[in-house]
Amino acid sequence: MERVAVFCGSSLGFNEQYKLEAEKLGNYFCVQGIDMVYGGGKIGMMGAIADAMIKNNGTVIGVIPELLEDEEVMHDAVEEMIVAKSMSDRKVIISRLVDGYIAMPGGFGTLDELFEVLTLNQLGVEQKPVGLLNTNGFFDHSLAQLDVMVAEGFLKSINRSMLIVSDTVEGLLTQMVSYKKPEKTKIIDKVVR
C-alpha cells in the first residue's frame, strides 16, 4: 500500500491516548513510506496525524469540501489540498486516490466514511482493505453491533470479515497489507421456508 485514507475525528476526545495513537500512525506511515489522504483539517485527530507526518516530511494530501474551506479548519501546512464541491464529492476523490482505508476514533463523519467504504467493498465496487484502529476499545460497541447484525441475519459473516481490526498500528497495517478480498456474495439471498 502506497497511499492510505485515514478517517478520524475533528476532535481529540477526552483521552490523550487517542492523540498519541494518531501521531503514532502518522509516524509509522512516514517510516514505511506510506502517503496519507485525509479530510484536510488542522484540528482534532485529523490535525494530530497530519502534524506528525508533516514534522517527519511525510506526504499528506487533504481533501476538504468547500463548506469547510472557510471555517478556519483547513490545515495550512498541507502542501496538496484538494477542495471538493461537496462531502459526497470528497469521498469519491479520496476513493480514487488510495489503496486502502483506516478509521480511527471519531464521530458521525468517521462512521459515515467507514460504513460507505465497507458497503462499496461488499458490493464489489471497490476491493481495498478497510482497517479499524481500535484504540482504547473505542469501537468495541460498534463491533458488537456488527456481530448482532450477523446473528440476526442482516449481514453475512463473510462481509463482516472484510473489516480488519487491531488495537495496534503495526498489527493493523500488517493485516491490511496481506488482505485478500472475500468472494463476492449475492446481494439478496432467496429465503427458503
pTM across the whole model: 0.91
Q: For residue 49, which of 31, 66, 34, 29 has the smallest C-alpha distance?
A: 29
CATH class of the 3-177 domain in this structure: alpha beta
Max Cα separation, the chain? 61
Would you tell me how many other CB atoms lie within 10 Å of the CB of residue 192? 4
Give yes or no for residue 123 having a pLDDT over 50.
yes
* pLDDT tens-digit readout, 105-119: 999 999 999 999 999
* pLDDT tens-digit readout, 23-35: 999 999 999 999 9
pLDDT of residue 48: 96
* Domain range annotation of the chain: 3-177
Residues 120-148, buried b or exposed e (16+ Cβ, 10 A)?
A: bbbeeebebbbbbbbbeebbeeeeeebee
pLDDT of residue 49: 96
CB 11 within 8 Å of CB 19: no
* pLDDT tens-digit readout, 138-186: 999 999 999 999 999 999 999 999 999 999 999 999 999 999 887 766 6
